[in-house]
Structure 1
Amino acid sequence: MSYMANTLEATKVNSERMQKQKERRKEKLLKFIMNNLGETAYSLSKKLEIPRTTILDILNELEGDLQIKYVELIEKGRTKKTIHTRTIDDFHHDRFNFEAINIPLIRRLVENAQRSEIVVTFDMLDGSTKILMPKDDLQKFIDNN
């Protein structure tokens, strides 16, 4: 039984060590991407000296966590998938509190939603809701309410 216990303990310790190594690599990769936009998975693997399969696994996790996005560029007739960090403009919101409309970030999000042809709903102070259509003038909407 002691052999089995030693094997289980060794497996557990190795699993924890590998998880810590993956977290360190993930942090290193994200910091590198923030400072060097437009890299490919292959170039990241070479520059950071991390195996390409590991890079791809970590990139898939980061994309799933909505921290990065892939941008396809066409160079010399070939499609190149480059990696960028996500910004607030990458997210679309469709419901806002009308009190917050004068906050620059909220206003920018409303304008982004309109450009993306998303119908925006505002929760008004009296508890009602108002709808702003994509083609409506935002300033006129604010002035009328």
Structure 2
Amino acid sequence: MSVAQLGAASGREENHAFPLSHTPGAVSAVRHRVCGLLDAWNLPPDAVDDVLLVVSELVTNALVHARPPATLRLWRLPLDGRQAVHVEVTDLGAAAPPGPATAPDPDEHGRGLGIVTALSARCGVRADAGGASRWAEVVAS
């Protein structure tokens, strides 16, 4: 089933999928592609900034803390009489926790999901035997 068919089958007009590579520069590359999509959707600049930040945080979270592969999906939807962008990153679930020598510095890490929560009208996590999806809906109009 194509991405367009997936969107139509689920009642969404457009569902855009971006496979994520676990490589340096992956977050920057996907932000660039998403920016082009958001521009095509003619979203206000403030909404574009919020969506891009949410994308960055959810993608980084998956690339740092989860097992590959991971996929980013975006689509528009109505939310409380306004337009929103649904951002969702699906991966194979949590990777092994880091050992004490490789644990991230709490002064530099750990704020991403707080940022996502602050910028989103709604957000959450879905987990099943096949992995996990973190999602957020950002008001765009």
TM bucket normalised to smaller:
under 0.3
Flag the structure with higher helix content. 1
TM-score normalized by the length of structure 1 = 0.24
Q: Which has the higher contact order (CA 8 A, sep 6+)?
A: 2
Flag the structure with higher strand content. 2
